[in-house]
Amino acid sequence: MDVPGYVWSGVLAVFQGPVLFEIFGIGIPITPVMVLSGLLLGIVVGSTPGLAGPMAMAISLPILISAFGYNESALLPVMGFLLGVMKGATIGGAVPAILFNTPGTPDAYLTTLDGYPMTRNGESKKALRVAHFASVSGDTVSDMVLFTCAPFLAILVEAYLDLPEKTALIILSLSFISAVVGKSVSKSLMSMALGMLVAYIGTGEDFHPRLTLGLSSIASGFSMSTVILGVLILGEVFKSMEDLWRAGGSKSMQVKKSKMSSRLTWAEIRKLAPYIGNSALVGTIIGTLPGIGSTLAATLGYAAGKKMHKRKKSADEPEFGKGVAQGVASTEAANSAVSGSNLIPVLSLGIPGNAAAVFLILAAESIGGFNPGPSVFRFTTESVNPELVIAFGLFTIMVLANLLNWTIGGFFMRSMGVMARVPKHILMPIVLLVTLTAIYVEQTSMEAILFTIGAGILGYFFRRLGISPLPFVIAFILAGRLEETARQAFSATGGDKWFLFSSMTSTVFMVLSVAVIIGFTGKKKE
């Protein structure tokens, strides 16, 4: 099958998949419905302070897998829902930041700098329209880069990197994530080492379980769902509940009413376009680097927009931080542009770079039939590569999600201001119960519940000690692949114990791994 054939097969897999229901005899495929449902849920979650896209993805995943099963036909509906949540939460996060000066995420803080002053000036709806337009524009640009670069990068890796080089590349990725995530390189390395240790308990290529201390309950290892949901979700819930207890409850927020509302004119769009384009480029570049995330992209995008505004603004125009629409556009375009390009290392290398990508990898691992990595983009003309069809199906889903975001996403986003008033002391226990229920629905085992709570306690201590849980989670996911690739490389080189330095490319990767750790250590604050 040629390239256009694969693209068309991916489109058909989305729009000619299993039918959910019929309207006037016309079958409605399930995948587009799941994309729309995920998008709307993501906007609701993003608009609710204390929640985030990865949290909704984590809770939804076990329920989706239980509903759709483990067949390959479940991949696109489940992944479509998760991608919809990811995109919806990105634009929804601007709502509490603009209306209530309440950033739900660190990168949303920069949206408050100009968004909330616009609300105080009676321009809340204008600010929300700017945030929506900039966010979806940045996301669309980033997705276009993903569609172009992911297959190209995967083909390069498959053509030029052998087993030792791929092993060294995974080590480099882990080193880079340890260096850039969190406030301390040493703490991130500890987090990553612990993640690999937990991943190797009871697992491996030998038939005899390892590191189990003789306990039969962990002889088969810990499932990804229990560990990842526990550390990322329950850990945050436990910390938030303790913070609320220490603060003595939550205060209700006062809603600021708009004095006026107006649509974006073409003149205003042309004025915003340079800031959106600049920030979209910044966010896309940052997104291709695993582990950095949207906070740095938002910071750099806002800083670049501020410099541009100083050069272009007239004497009577306010500066950034005083209620400037360009400030909102610069931030939202940058942090949204990360989401698409962050999937480049996921699809081309199988390496997750942020929490949302972690759950996409987890969905693929749980269902089976799709293994993110260089082999996905192997174009074969003699036979059909089903993983490549799924990859183009995912690209189709992202285009569909962007179209839905452009059309109904803005209206739904602007109606979500009420979600910012949900008290956290009510929200967090609900998240806790729903997460544990989702785990039990998937595994129907009390042991899984206990393991999840144990992982949640570990995640709580991570946060209290200032250790980022993301290196732990990414190391837990990549540990099995690292061991498998290293074993294969060791065998392929005839048992050479220096196989990581058997070629110039793998040697360069290993040197860079050490250089990255050393280079960032001096810049981190303990």
Indicate if the pLDDT at residue 399 is higher than 90. yes
Q: Which residue is it, tokens 């929300």?
A: 128
Q: How far apart are CA 90 and CA 113, in angstroms?
A: 18
Could you tell me if 170 and 506 are in contact, meaning their C-beta atoms sit under 8 angstroms apart?
A: no
pLDDT the model gives residue 204:
65
Angle at 131 between CA 104 and CA 361, to 5 degrees: 60
pLDDT the model gives residue 194:
94
Which amino acid would we find at residue 42?
Answer: G
Q: Cα 78 to chain center, whole Å? A: 15
Indicate if the pLDDT at residue 342 is higher than 80. yes
Could you tell me if 287 and 337 are in contact, meaning their C-beta atoms sit under 8 angstroms apart?
A: yes
DSSP string across 312-327: H--TTSPPTTSS-HHH
Specify the higher pLDDT residue, 9 or 21.
Answer: 9
Could you tell me if 377 and 150 are in contact, meaning their C-beta atoms sit under 8 angstroms apart?
A: yes
pLDDT the model gives residue 81:
95
Could you tell me if 135 and 90 are in contact, meaning their C-beta atoms sit under 8 angstroms apart?
A: yes
pLDDT (mean) for 279-294: 79
Residue 29 has φ and ψ, to the nearest 5°, of: -65, 150
pLDDT the model gives residue 125:
84
Q: Cα 392 to chain center, whole Å? A: 19
Q: Cα 193 to chain center, whole Å? A: 22
pLDDT the model gives residue 456:
92
Residue 380, classed as helix, strand or coil, is: coil
Could you tell me if 477 and 362 are in contact, meaning their C-beta atoms sit under 8 angstroms apart?
A: yes
Indicate if the pLDDT at residue 511 is higher than 90. yes
pLDDT (mean) for 146-166: 84
Residue 28 has φ and ψ, to the nearest 5°, of: -100, 115
Beta bridge partners of 22: 27
pLDDT the model gives residue 400:
94
Of 74-78, 296-300, 416-420, give the lowest mean pLDDT range: 416-420
State which H helix or E strand residue 23 sits in.
strand 19-23
pLDDT digits (tens, 9 = 90+) for 431-472: 888 888 888 877 778 888 999 999 999 999 998 998 888 889
pLDDT (mean) for 243-256: 60
Tokens of 240: 């938030």
Indicate if the pLDDT at residue 418 is higher than 80. no
pLDDT (mean) for 291-304: 76
CA 370 → CA 70, 361, 363, 375, distances in Å? 12, 9, 9, 10
Q: Could you give the residue ranges of the DSSP H alpha helices within 161-265?
A: 163-180, 185-200, 224-229, 235-247
pLDDT the model gives residue 521:
80
- At 401, the pLDDT band (50, 70, 90 cuts) reads very high
pLDDT (mean) for 157-173: 85
Residue 22, classed as helix, strand or coil, is: strand
Specify the higher pLDDT residue, 477 or 454.
Answer: 454
**pLDDT > 90: percent of the chain:** 19
pLDDT the model gives residue 262:
60
Q: Could you give the residue ranges of the DSSP H alpha helices within 288-320?
A: 294-312
* Secondary structure tally for the chain: helices H, strands E: 22, 2
The candidate with the shortest Cα–Cα distance to 401, out of 83, 91, 109, is 83
pLDDT (mean) for 13-20: 82
pLDDT the model gives residue 285:
86
- At 37, the pLDDT band (50, 70, 90 cuts) reads very high
DSSP string across 416-477: -GGGGGS-HHHHHHHHHHHHHHHHHHHH--HHHHHHHHHHHHHHHHHHHTT--SHHHHHHHH
Indicate if the pLDDT at residue 269 is higher than 60. yes
Q: Cα 458 to chain center, whole Å? A: 21
Where b means 16+ CB within 10 Å and e means fewer, 459-472 reads bbebbeeebbbbbb
Specify the higher pLDDT residue, 523 or 299.
Answer: 299
pLDDT the model gives residue 80:
93
pLDDT the model gives residue 385:
83
* Predicted model pTM: 0.81
pLDDT the model gives residue 525:
47
Ramachandran assignment for 309, one of left (phi > 0), alpha (psi -120 to 50 degrees), beta (any other): alpha
pLDDT the model gives residue 261:
47
Greatest Cα pair distance in the chain: 75
Where b means 16+ CB within 10 Å and e means fewer, 95-106 reads bbbbbbbbbbbe
Question: How high is the mean pLDDT of the chain?
Answer: 83
Tokens of 457: 């306690």
pLDDT the model gives residue 466:
87
pLDDT digits (tens, 9 = 90+) for 181-206: 777 888 889 999 999 999 888 876 66
Domain extent listing, the chain: 3-521
Could you tell me if 502 and 496 are in contact, meaning their C-beta atoms sit under 8 angstroms apart?
A: yes
Which amino acid would we find at residue 266?
Answer: W
